[in-house]
Structure 1
Amino acid sequence: MLDNIRIVLIETSHSGNIGSAARAMKTMGLSELYLVSPKQGIDEQAIALSAGAGDVVKNAVVVERFEQAVGDCSLLIGTSARLRHLQNSLIEPCQCGEITMQAAKCGEKVAIIFGRERVGLTNDELLKCRYHLTIPANPDYSSLNLAMAVQLVCYELRMAFLSQTAQEMPVVAIENTVKNTALLATAQQLEYFFEHTERLYQSLGFIQNQGVMQKLRRLYQRAAVEQNELNILRGMLTAVEKHLYFHKE
């Protein structure tokens, strides 16, 4: 289950934060680290602050864009302190652990995404996440550095993992469950669908501002669309396009 979970750090400013986050991960049994356009690459400071988790740092996957880090994942969870406009999708670390482990147990790839040290995730990045994780810290002093936040979340993942394994079904039963579980659409597949939807609805004059598309994104993210369901939705869009083209002719 833990191998299906990746921690994604967006544009980290200091290499030491990468090492400290890797240390936080390894203490809780996680090893999949993705870095999106880090401001400082992996260097001696990153290795030093990893304190024995140098293997996690050295095996980190470095990519240029957000989409490259999460494209093959079917569950994206974004972390942020400013989430008032996303109340319907808010979860806390304990819930994050439970939701993540349920998905990972079924073979789904999960990305838990941490934003820039100073400004966090952008609104566009948050809109691509199905759930939005907030840490209910002291409102009078809610300052958590990146490694602290990663440690806290990884701890809850560990606790959920231990809870799952303590009451684990027989191996054969688990394999059958995974085989019979429909795969969720990946982030990349959803992006293709959203682009298709926006293009068609704009041509129909239905979408005239980004507010509509943002609400549609939230709707489909909450629905946890399966791949076969997404194929139906895309087929419907294509059918409408063909109908419009036929009548134009």
Structure 2
Amino acid sequence: MQRNIRIILVETSHSGNIGSAARAMKTMGLNQLYLVSPKQPIDDQALALAAGADDVLKNATIVDHFEQAIADCELVIGTSARLRHLQNTLIDARKCGEKTIQFCQTGKVALVFGRERVGLTNKELLKCHYHLNIPTNPDYSSLNLAMAVQLVCYEIRMAWLADKKNYFNKENANLPLSSIENPYPKSLELEHFFNHTEHLYKQLGFIKNQGVIQKLRRLYQRAKIEKTELNILQGMLTAVEKQLATEQKQKIVK
């Protein structure tokens, strides 16, 4: 569980929040912390608020861009307070914990927390398969970063404890290899497919604004495409490109 679940903090403003988040992680058995372009380094305040989770901080991976943090993950769940345009992909913390444990047994899962004041951008949210919303009291919805991380990590641990007997019993030794290997593509592979799709559809004149590709992203992510299915879709795009190239050559000859 520890190796395959990572907590990603995007452009954190206060180092103390990083330390508090590390403490929240360690109490629930998680230790893979990724920091995307933090505004402040891991300093004495971060170490003080980590309260013994120094190892999580010292082993944290720091990257410059969001895409680098999720590139090798098969499941990406982003937190968001925005609801209107994310209805089809919204999950609560309990469902988030269940999905995380389901996927982490065979692949990498990223739980993404945005900036303290503005959260994740729309572009970042589009790269997430699901969007986690914590239904706080509408009259007082103030939930700081470390609290949110603690709540989500708790649900992950509870889901792991509930699933422990089912997954780690002897029956799994008898499962065929294909049933326990992760069949889902990594985030980087999906991103390549989306870029390929956008390039070709623009060439065909089908995509004329970003709204279309955003809707296609949500559609494909909601469909939980497997690697073999993604290969078929990539093959279809390549076949169309080859046909276009052939027709273009024929026009030149004529």
**Alignment TM class, shorter chain as reference:** over 0.9
Is 1:83–1:132's contact at 8 Å kept on the other side of the alignment?
no
TM-score (norm 1): 0.96
Unpaired runs of at least 5, structure 1:
none
Change (3 A) 1:114 1:178: farther
Which digits, 9 at most, give the CA deviation of each residue in 1:146-178, with x for residues without a partner?
A: 000000000000100110114445246157366
Listed as ranges, the matches of 1:34-45 within 5 Å are 34-45=34-45
Q: Deviations over 1:7-63 (max 9, x none)?
A: 000000011100000000000000000000000011111111100000000100000
- Whole-Å Cα distance in 1 between the matches of residues 120 and 92 of structure 2? 17
- Aligned partner of 1:237 in structure 2 is 237
Identical-pair percentage? 66
The code of the aligned residue for 1:138 comes to: N
Match of 2:197 in 1: 197
Deviations 1:80-131 (A, max 9, x none): 11122110110000000011101112x1100000000000000000011110
Q: How many residues align?
A: 248
Question: How far 1:228 sits from its partner (Å)?
Answer: 1.6
Matches within 5 A, 1:96-107: 96-105=96-105, 107=106
Rg (Cα) greater in structure: 2
State the match for 1:68 in structure 2.
68
Distance 1:22 1:219, change over 3 A: same
RMSD: 1.3
Shift of 1:179: 4.2
Name the SS of the counterpart of 2:39 in structure 1. Answer: coil
Aligned to 1:215: 215
1:15 maps to a residue whose letter is S
Distance 1:33 1:145 in 2: 18
Q: Which residue of 1 aligns with 2:252?
A: none
- 1:141 is matched with 140
Tell me what 1:122 maps to: 121
SS of structure 2 residue aligned to 1:9:
strand
2-structure distance, mates of 1:244, 1:149:
50
* Alignment correspondent of 1:88: 88
Mapped to 1, the partners of 2:125 and 2:137 lie a distance apart of 23
Q: Which moved more, 1:181-190 or 1:141-150?
A: 181-190
**Structure 2: runs of 5 or more not aligned:** 250-254
Task: Give the stretch that moved more between structures: 171-180 or 48-57.
Answer: 171-180
TM-score, normalised with respect to structure 2: 0.94
CA contact (8 A) 2:107 2:182 kept: no
| Structure 1 residue identity aligned to 2:101 | M
Partner amino acid for 1:118? R
Inter-partner Cα distance in structure 2 for 1:78 and 1:246: 42
Deviates more, 1:113-122 or 1:178-187: 178-187
Matched AA of 1:227: K
What secondary structure, in the 3-state scheme, does the structure 2 residue paired with 1:33 have? strand
Task: Give 3-state SS (helix, strand or coil) of 1:112's partner.
Answer: strand
**Distance between the aligned counterparts of 2:173 and 2:15, measured in 1?**
40
